[in-house]
Structure 1
Amino acid sequence: MALTIQKIIAQYNFFKNCATRYFNLGQIEKASNYCEVAARIGYKYNFRYSDDELESIVEKISKSVIPDSINFNPVVNRIVFYDSFAQDNRGLTQQYLRAIIGWNSELLFITPKTHIGKDILDELKSYSKTRILQIDSSISFSSQVISTIKEIERFRPQYVFQHFSPWDILGFTIWNGIKCADRFLINLTDHAYWLGKYSTDYFLEFRKYGCYLSIHQRKIDINKLLFQPYYPIQNENNFLGFPILKENKIFAFAGSSFYKIYGRNGLFLNLILELLDNNPDVIFLLAGNGNDKPIQSFIKKHKLENRFILLGNRPDINEVIKNIDIYINTFPMIGGLMSQFAAVNNKPIIGYTDIELYSFNDTEDFLQINNANTLVKTNVNDFLHSFKELVNNELVRAQNIELTKNSVITPYEFSKLLLNTLTNKRPVSENFTHESIINLDSVTALYLDMEIHFLHDHNQIIWNTINYKLFRDDFKLATHVFIDRLINKIHQSSKKIIEFLK
């Protein structure tokens, strides 16, 4: 069955209707489960950026699980950090925790995860004013909500930071019921669909593009949008080296999840091929994780084994960037965090995007630089020319580096600004939320293209989220999903056989 945006939206609405149906039947756990799978589909394809109907269902779930009004007097300088991820170098957990610890605040760290990243856990345990609450996943959904609410009531926070995943229905349900403390949602996935709008008071934004979407697509009051840029965590790991000697070569580098370079008919890989053809002294290095088979095939096809080096996932990413010469941003999706690593390590940055995705990939917006079209080009020839200049001209390279100098907020500045944001709650200005140059339909088409040609995980997301409940409660849908998965497997196997025969 061919996957189309119409089919995706129909599935999304079906799951949303399932959530409503099961809520009306009093089956809260199933209702929350269907809310989650709908949110995961919304996030995967971004055919919309919020959903008030789905938010309302979560709100109803919260009110049914927490029937009594929660009321407490907040204790000054007590802060809750709720974290959907609790993973090292995933999102902004460590940046916010370090600020909270620096304020000498009492901290309650709450996560639904059974495992907390080692670096995060070490920092939490080393701070004497920390309490850690890992929500017990073995008990029912309602029991998880109630037990967590009781801990929050006992703690009586003044402020709450919400580091949500876009589909954390448990978290949204909990915080929908807490209105005694000021709640701040960290808009981590500002480019995408997410839920949580009804479970917070303020939204911490880090760039103009996210603000634009929050106002015009999510319909959030501008007075609730607060500006809070961030910095990368620079772990000092030992440099693991490169599998090739430099020998007077120029090392160009890109880093991201590999899915970010798929789509647009593989244009990014073809641009790298052209860069290598035009610049014989350049070696290209690519770090990241995910499905690398298309990249491996590309390298083999063009005999680039000695010039296009796939590094894989590198725990020493900061050291990697210290040892390269030029950073190339990925396309059709930017690697924003990698741009920050390049800037703080004084490396020149260059990238390409088409005009339809300009704001989506605007490095200068991400780094808060008011010098349009220097770090990102919308014309292929301009991009190739700019890269060649960075290779051959030390002055051009120095000018590029100077442009990004001090563009990334320091940990001290981050902490100071965040504390000021909590107390003053000064919203972003109208000028900050300029009209963004982007075709939102192109963004949706991009995600659909990546799924059809590279990722092939649409049904797996549904399957993993709802699992056996599909068979038990919605046999017809389960049959469709099973058939789709089977057809997809046959299609992938056929492609492998054809590739092998070639």
Structure 2
Amino acid sequence: MDKARQVARLERRLKHIIAESIQQENYEKALAGINACAQLLYLWNQKYIDEELERYIEEISKKVVQINLGQDTDRNTDTDRNTVLFYDGFGLDTRGLALIYLKAIAQLGYKIIYLVPQKSKGGQSDIHRILDGCNVEWIYYSENSYLNRIKTITSTFDTFKPSVAFFYSMPDDVAAAVAFFAYAGLMTRFQINLTDHAYWLGTNIFDFCIEFRDYGASISYYYRGIPREKLIKLPYYPYYDKEKNFEGFPFESKNKKIIFSGGALYKTLGDSENTYYKVLDQLLTSNSDVIFLYAGSGDSTELDKMATKFSQRVYHVNERKDLYQVMQRCTFYLNTYPMLGGLMTQYAVAAGKVPLTMVRKGDVAEGILIEQEKREIEYFDSDSLIQDANKLLNDEEYLHDRECKLIGSIISEKEFKEELQSIIRKNNTKYTIRLKKYDVNEFAKEYKQRFDYDSVISGCIAKKCNLVLIYVFPKLFIKKIIKKIIKKIIKKLEEVFIWGKR
């Protein structure tokens, strides 16, 4: 059976489980089904909205959410104009956009109610440091039960009565979607659209959608059906600590030129030509004094092949806390392909390094930088990228000229804060949205090609938060449990072996 039929069959089965569970008032099971189905659609990414799942969210929200905020009173007198709720479903520290939003909101003088997963406790040192001394309430929620998470979110709304709420989360966050839907008309709800290139749940849970570029706004308008008047554009900037110490390279860098790349490794896989690695192969072959460093996790099969072929010239490390300092020390940044990294592109520019980016016409690369077309970072075929990369590696004056063209391509921290204030007060910014209908077929094909059905269904369904589905999908849960046990045994044996050798 081909992938499309497998996905369609599983989608139908999950929706049947959802509908049946709602009818039986087993809402925890229904929510688990929505979560699994949403994650499936996100990973498959052949559409940007699913009306059935949106209706299920609305139906469950009306059944399970009890609001004590005062729906019959005017929201301006019932909510606190100086209180802003920020729901963060990721719970990361410097990765993503939470830190720059929280920093700006705090500097603008608002009281922040910060809702974040329990697992993040103790793991957000930079956010804690930046918000130290600010008016912030930290609310941690458990992820063990969808209904309990909904209750935590809604009770937080009711207790603190924010006039503004930001929704910043993963594409499958059904609990927060159900909670946010219920507060329509009671406060102004903003969705921060980080995942603008892919499917996500909850197109009806916000009053305004904050897009960081025209591409995302266009996808939201043409493919998600979000009205133009609900779209607001606000570019972001990469947070970094200039004072952070450089942690070093896993190689001797003296008299070497360094090509740096990074992000989730799946972004380098998926096109039939294996273009990313062919480009890298040619650059390393043509320049014997070049070392390649990749920072990120995932399937490293192709990268390992390169490391074998170019011994002691290809290195793979985990994500770096000193990313800005690493960028500063490279010759240029090679963007991932066929999926680029938007935030990594901005990190490169912030460090003054050219982010070489191969794209197709009208691809998701557009709009990462301000006036991006003037920055000369895009290439529409691998030959032109390789030719220019070789010149950058061997002509210092040319490299400097190209780096100078990057000046002014990222929004400043001050401007970001001012425009965020405009969003909170007036629901707009100075940035004009230019809508354009993109052809997303080629992009969808790459998702389809990369899609591994067997591994995906386990990741979507057989997880702790969806344990209520174990009786429906027992084999998936059993397989996952067995894999975990085997992994633990292997780890234990490795430890015994290492200690035995000592």
Q: What range is the shorter-chain TM-score in?
A: 0.7 to 0.9
Provide Cα deviations, 1:175-214, integer angstroms capped at 9, x if missing partner. 1111311111000111111012111110000011101100
Q: Determine whether 1:65 maps to 2:70.
A: no
Question: In the alignment, which residue of structure 1 is the partner of 2:277?
Answer: 269
Residues of 2 paired with 1:370 and 1:327: CA distance?
16
Change (3 A) 1:311 1:291: same
What SS does structure 1 have at the residue aligned with 2:56? helix
Deviation, structure 1 residue 33: 0.4
The amino acid that maps onto 1:434 is K
Q: Determine whether 1:88 maps to 2:87.
A: no
The amino acid that maps onto 2:451 is E
Following superposition of structure 1 onto structure 2, how do residues 121-140 of structure 1 map, counting pairs within 5 Å?
122-123=128-129, 126-137=132-143
Question: In the alignment, which residue of structure 1 is the partner of 2:410?
Answer: 408
Q: Judge conservation of contact 1:223–1:428 (CA < 8 Å) in 2.
A: no
The amino acid that maps onto 1:78 is T
Residues of 1 paired with 2:41 and 2:446: CA distance?
14
Following superposition of structure 1 onto structure 2, how do residues 136-285 of structure 1 map, counting pairs within 5 Å?
136-137=142-143, 141-179=146-184, 180-235=186-241, 236-265=243-272, 266-285=274-293
Change (3 A) 1:430 1:12: farther
Residues of 2 paired with 1:195 and 1:344: CA distance?
32
Deviation, structure 1 residue 424: 2.1
Change (3 A) 1:182 1:90: same
Q: Judge conservation of contact 1:37–1:466 (CA < 8 Å) in 2.
A: no
Report sequence identity in percent.
25
Residues of 2 paired with 1:385 and 1:141: CA distance?
53
Change (3 A) 1:68 1:481: closer
What SS does structure 2 have at the residue aligned with 1:334? coil
Deviation, structure 1 residue 67: 4.9
Residues of 2 paired with 1:133 and 1:445: CA distance?
41
Residues of 2 paired with 1:312 and 1:238: CA distance?
17
Equivalent residue for 1:310, pick from 313, 316, 319: 316
Residues of 1 paired with 2:155 and 2:234: CA distance?
30
Q: Determine whether 1:359 maps to 2:328.
A: no
Deviation, structure 1 residue 467: 5.2
Residues of 2 paired with 1:254 and 1:407: CA distance?
20
Q: Judge conservation of contact 1:37–1:465 (CA < 8 Å) in 2.
A: no
Deviation, structure 1 residue 317: 1.1
Q: Judge conservation of contact 1:222–1:427 (CA < 8 Å) in 2.
A: no
Number of aligned positions between the proteins: 473
Question: In the alignment, which residue of structure 1 is the partner of 2:33?
Answer: 34
What SS does structure 1 have at the residue aligned with 2:288? coil
Q: Judge conservation of contact 2:221–2:228 (CA < 8 Å) in 1.
A: yes
Structure 2 residues without counterparts, runs of 5 or longer: 483-502
Equivalent residue for 1:425, pick from 427, 433, 439: 427
The amino acid that maps onto 2:401 is Q
Structure 1 residues without counterparts, runs of 5 or longer: 487-502
Change (3 A) 1:345 1:480: closer
Q: Judge conservation of contact 1:459–1:485 (CA < 8 Å) in 2.
A: no
Question: In the alignment, which residue of structure 2 is the partner of 1:495?
Answer: none
Deviation, structure 1 residue 431: 5.9
Deviation, structure 1 residue 327: 1.0
Residues of 2 paired with 1:70 and 1:197: CA distance?
23
Q: Determine whether 1:449 maps to 2:454.
A: no
Equivalent residue for 1:332, pick from 318, 335, 338: 338
Change (3 A) 1:441 1:69: farther
Change (3 A) 1:480 1:337: closer
Question: In the alignment, which residue of structure 2 is the partner of 1:493?
Answer: none
Q: Judge conservation of contact 2:214–2:233 (CA < 8 Å) in 1.
A: no
Deviation, structure 1 residue 308: 1.8
Residues of 2 paired with 1:310 and 1:408: CA distance?
28
Equivalent residue for 1:393, pick from 384, 392, 395: 395
Residues of 2 paired with 1:485 and 1:112: CA distance?
24
Deviation, structure 1 residue 457: 4.0
Provide Cα deviations, 1:260-311, integer angstroms capped at 9, x if missing partner. 11121422111100111222332222111123233113321x2x02222223
Question: In the alignment, which residue of structure 2 is the partner of 1:382?
Answer: 384
What SS does structure 1 have at the residue aligned with 2:364? helix
Question: In the alignment, which residue of structure 1 is the partner of 2:500?
Answer: none
What SS does structure 1 have at the residue aligned with 2:196? coil
Change (3 A) 1:67 1:151: closer
Q: Judge conservation of contact 1:352–1:380 (CA < 8 Å) in 2.
A: yes
